[in-house]
Amino acid sequence: MSFDEYCLEQYPSNDCFFYLWRNRPSVIIGLNQNAFAEVNLGYLEAHDIRLARRVTGGGAVYHDLQNLNYTFVGRGVSPEPMVSALRSLGVPAELTGRNDIYVGGRKVSGYARRVWRDREIIHGTLMYDVDLDTLAHALDVPGSKLAVKGIASVRSRVANLKDFLPQFSCLDALQAALQEILAAGDVQLPFEDFRREAVQRIADTKFSTWDWLYGQSREADLVRSGALACGTVEARLCLDRGILTGVEFGGDFLGALPASGLASRLTGVRFDRTALQERLDAAEVAQYFDGVGTQALLDLLTGA
């Protein structure tokens, strides 16, 4: 994401240019999305999947090393060159009005756009042999999503391009073919070490920070429920910009003190495991939920 922003805003080229790229398993959410409402954060943590937020709009997408990403930067860029390249390889790809590329009625790519001054960027996915089970789990949020202010992801029927490209033995071969078609003999642009260092600084100071990943999240109401040692507990959580603005507990559980007391102590806390654990440790959870420790309630609240 940092590399994309640098290329859009700082790379000194008056011509349109592109690059193809892959990364480790990750979920990328849109600029206006609520991370807590759109992503199964507990699943991501358990399976070592990264979370990132991009500077373009749209919905959440899952990447792994069997997904190929593309970026076009310049004036008047569009995803049409990628669609044309796929067609030249025998794939009946078509653009839809929802910023997607479809093949045979199923989505194989989603893309997003951002304008900066007189330039713009389009970046998108190409699912080649993505683990669709992991994709489904990563984007399946536990608990009911009652209301979200912002952009909700549109769930689509998806497909892998591998099913339409039997002539390629692996993604490396497809990537090389697309690179050759899209480049059409053009030269490769340099990217010097000082530019790499600048990209890393942007990543460290912006894209890797809690404020960017979670603090950008718009308002959302979530429900978490489960059977604990004290009985069934349901927690209704109101979030805004990654902060708990309201908490309500319900259920058939037993406890010495009213759970509303714990709810009030959680209001105003940042919604991450470390901050929640500090507050729960200080509150002595078992007073409100018989036989329940901090970790059990923490897992319920965070959807772990």
For the stretch 173-191, pLDDT in tens is: 999 999 999 999 899 999 9
Q: What is the pLDDT of residue 147?
A: 44
Q: Does one domain contain both 156 and 29?
A: yes
124/212 Cα distance (integer angstroms): 21
Q: Are 255 and 288 in contact (CB under 8 A)?
A: yes
Integer CA distances (angstroms), 17 to 4, 12, 121, 172, in order = 12, 11, 10, 21
Q: Does one domain contain both 260 and 289?
A: yes
Q: Does one domain contain both 124 and 24?
A: yes
Q: What is the pLDDT of residue 234?
A: 87
Question: Taking the model in full, what pTM does it have?
Answer: 0.76
Domain boundary among 173, 193, 213: 213
Residues 232-255 as b/e (b if ≥16 CB within 10 A, e otherwise) read ebbbbbbbbebbbeebebebebeb
Q: Does one domain contain both 229 and 195?
A: no
Q: What is the pLDDT of residue 86?
A: 96
Local confidence band at 153 (pLDDT 50, 70, 90 cut-offs): low
Q: Looking at residue 8, which CATH number applies to its domain? A: 3.30.930.10
Question: In terms of residue numbers, what domain contains 168?
Answer: 2-213
Q: Does one domain contain both 225 and 275?
A: yes
Q: Does one domain contain both 95 and 26?
A: yes
47-56, 98-107, 146-155, 221-230: segment of lowest average pLDDT: 146-155
106-115, 123-132, 153-162, 250-259: segment of lowest average pLDDT: 153-162
Arithmetic mean of pLDDT over the chain:
89
Q: Does one domain contain both 155 and 279?
A: no
Local confidence band at 119 (pLDDT 50, 70, 90 cut-offs): very high
Q: Looking at residue 268, which CATH number applies to its domain? A: 3.30.390.50
Q: Does one domain contain both 156 and 18?
A: yes
Mean pLDDT of 23-38: 87
Domain boundary among 171, 189, 213: 213
Q: Does one domain contain both 254 and 129?
A: no
Mean pLDDT of 115-120: 91
Domain boundary among 170, 195, 213: 213
Q: Does one domain contain both 116 and 251?
A: no
Local confidence band at 142 (pLDDT 50, 70, 90 cut-offs): low
Q: Does one domain contain both 196 and 250?
A: no
Q: Does one domain contain both 200 and 281?
A: no
**Total number of domains constituting the chain:** 2
Q: What is the pLDDT of residue 79?
A: 93
For the stretch 206-218, pLDDT in tens is: 999 988 998 877 7
